[in-house]
């Protein structure tokens, strides 16, 4: 079983998760007004996740690491949840880099 984007609805809006081959959610999107916005961002994640320098590591005020994925224009595509450690965050970044480009889309909105 490979990685998958899961397109779902929440509160009348669209969102998606990226699940690793092991079934863990490694990325959660924002909410979108329409399905096309979610699908555009899935495509953007697929294209940018393999681009050198697309991921930026940050930490919140408590020192918990998280990452931001940016497009070629420098705009933020999305950000992760907070992690318990920098190595844990780096493992997820590597997972997204490997899994996102070829991940299929399971559409649960229909």
What's 71's domain CATH number? 2.30.29.80
Q: How far apart are CA 72 and CA 75, in angstroms?
A: 7
Neighbours of 71 (CB within 10 A): 15
The pTM score is: 0.82
Distance CA 88, CA 103 (A): 21
pLDDT of residue 101: 92
pLDDT value for 1: 56
Its domain, for residue 92, covers 4-107
Reading the chain (110 residues) residue by residue, the pLDDT tens digits are 578 999 999 999 999 998 887 787 888 888 999 999 999 999 999 999 999 999 999 999 999 999 999 999 998 888 888 899 999 999 889 888 988 999 999 999 97
3-state DSSP assignment of residue 34 = coil
Other C-beta atoms closer than 10 Å to the C-beta of 91 total 13
- pLDDT (0 to 100) of residue 51: 93
- Number of domains, the chain: 1
CA distance 90 to 76: 18
């Amino acid at each position: 079983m490979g990685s998958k984007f899961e397109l779902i609805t929440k509160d009348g809006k669209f969102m998606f998760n990226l699940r690793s081959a092991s079934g863990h959610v490694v990325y959660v999107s924002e909410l979108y007004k329409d399905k096309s916005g979610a699908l555009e961002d899935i495509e953007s994640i697929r294209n940018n996740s393999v681009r050198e320098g697309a991921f930026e590591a940050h930490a919140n005020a408590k020192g918990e690491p998280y990452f931001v994925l940016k497009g070629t224009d420098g705009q933020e595509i999305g950000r992760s949840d907070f992690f318990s450690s920098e190595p844990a965050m780096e493992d997820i970044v590597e997972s997204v880099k490997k899994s996102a480009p070829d991940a299929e889309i399971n559409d649960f909105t229909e």
